[in-house]
Amino acid sequence: MYKLKQDNAPIYEALVKYKSMRILPFDVPGHKHGKGNPKLTEFLGERCLSVDVNSMKPLDNLCHPVSVIKEAEELAADAFGAKHAFLMVNGTTSAVQAMVMSVCKKGDKIIMPRNVHRSAINALILSGATPVYINPGVNKKLGIPLGMSVSDIENAIKEHPEAKAVLVNNPTYYGICSNLKGIVELAHKHGMYVLVDEAHGTHFYFGENMPISAMAAGADMAAVSMHKTGGSLTQSSFLLTNCDLHVGYIRQIINLTQTTSGSYLLLTSLDLARRELALNGKEIFKRVTELAEYARKEINKIDGYYAYSKELIDNNEVFDFDVTKLSVFTRDMGLAGIEVYDILRDEYDIQIEFGDIGNILAIISVGDDMPAVERLVAAISQIKRLNEGNTGDSFDNEYINPDVVMTPQSAFYADKKSLPFDECVNKISGEFVMCYPPGIPILAPGERITREILDYISYSKEKGCFLTGTEDINIERINVVEEL
């Protein structure tokens, strides 16, 4: 299957060799193998801090790799079926930004769904590119945005044939997958790049019977959060490429925003996680799928919950579904998703990925086992029993169609003034408002502020969602664009 020997881990092997040499450090980091910070060493361990080192000739340099990091990139590209793979240590955020900025310059148009992660809109602020938003369909019962349909993209291309690229979320946070192959074929026919925010899709490359991966579908670039479902350390990701753009140019774009002090802890975790998945991914994700399916089946026996899956597929806005996602609709049992999320953490010591107005998401991946899943299911069941008769109140859905008035860059850098919420109706937002996680903006720079949006933000605050994005830390005021 693989052209290269996937049991190699060049960065890890170089660090092991470095450690055995007992080098006396007179470089950064200043803790000098942990000796300068005993409490940190006690907490993380000497083995960890002894390999928290700086770039040097035996360990290569992330900004311009020529040896062990270069070898790790080649192994990753081989494992993911890409032409090239970049090791990212500023998270998938920097990978998404690098994708957009590699193909779009100031004034260029890019077609994307509005329910993108904030990193994609941040890329528009940085690059000056203009978004052509496609409003996703909405499942009215679940209140969740769906995928992008090929017909919607086709209409956007007809209206904006000069667009440079199409960006796709695949899968969404909830597990919804678009017709990626169809989108790629359509975009390429019109000379456009296809960029995929594949943050939650690492397992598509290694498991069996999974939705198609971006590289297999022929996409040009994909941002993959190895740390989310692949077992590497938080903040470590891959940027995969499969296009005609020069690797050196893409690296220059990456280096505009990525640190020059790449963490070898993060790099090694990518190296080892890639090796583990390349060698054992089929077995790992077979087990993950079985755990998720078991949990889904058991939760669906409990009145008031709905753990959804492939039955949502309509071959249009839901082309496929990622069955490893344990997405659960909660409103029928009288609690908002964020309320269930808080109860699980505060009363059962269970931390799930997120809760929104109507749903919760539990990530099941390489580190889970049956006892953990059974404990989660038992807690969810008990929450239902303790909340019998709770009717609750709710909004109809999680997605509000935006009214885009200005480009994100123009609005973000415009002269602004801060107004209380109730005075913001019909004003143009100069900043973000979003629940985190998942980090999808309710309001983005350049969009008209409506009463519906303000009511939704207030409702989210009331239910306990963690809101971010505004300059005002209390989320009681919004910066709006000064009117001329």
Residues 335-362: tens digit of each pLDDT: 999 999 999 999 999 999 999 989 999 9
Instruction: Say which residue, 474 or 286, is predicted with more confidence.
Output: 286
> Distance between CA atoms of 24 and 32, rounded to whole angstroms?
9
Residues of the chain with CATH 3.90.105.10: 408-481
User: What is the per-residue pLDDT for 252?
Assistant: 98
Nearest of 411, 420, 484 to residue 441 by alpha carbon: 411
Poorest-pLDDT segment among 275-279, 386-390, 403-407:
386-390
Categorize the per-residue pLDDT at 264 as very low, low, confident or very high, splitting at 50, 70 and 90: very high
Position 240 pLDDT exceeds 60: yes
Arithmetic mean of pLDDT over the chain: 95
**Which numeric CATH code is attached to 408-481?**
3.90.105.10
The average pLDDT across 40-53 equals: 95
User: What is the per-residue pLDDT for 437?
Assistant: 77
User: What is the per-residue pLDDT for 461?
Assistant: 87
User: What is the per-residue pLDDT for 177?
Assistant: 98
pLDDT digits (tens, 9 = 90+) for 101-158: 999 999 999 999 999 999 999 999 999 999 999 998 899 899 899 999 999 999 999 9
Q: Where do we find the tokens 């919804």?
A: 176
The average pLDDT across 2-31 equals: 94
Position 484 pLDDT exceeds 90: no
User: What is the per-residue pLDDT for 436?
Assistant: 81
Position 27 pLDDT exceeds 60: yes
Residues of the chain with CATH 3.40.640.10: 10-278
Residue 118, phi then psi, degrees to nearest 5? -55, -25
The average pLDDT across 233-248 equals: 97
pLDDT digits (tens, 9 = 90+) for 54-103: 999 999 999 999 999 999 999 999 999 999 999 999 999 999 999 999 99
Fold adopted by 10-278: Aspartate Aminotransferase; domain 2 (3.40.640)
User: What is the per-residue pLDDT for 439?
Assistant: 83
User: What is the per-residue pLDDT for 10?
Assistant: 98
User: Residue 223 forms beta bridges with which residues?
Assistant: 197, 239
User: What is the per-residue pLDDT for 303?
Assistant: 93
The average pLDDT across 291-297 equals: 98
> Distance between CA atoms of 91 and 211, rounded to whole angstroms?
23
Categorize the per-residue pLDDT at 396 as very low, low, confident or very high, splitting at 50, 70 and 90: low
The pair of structure tokens assigned to 240 is 């995969």
Q: Which residues contact 210 (CB under 8 A, 6 or more apart)?
A: 203, 204, 285, 322
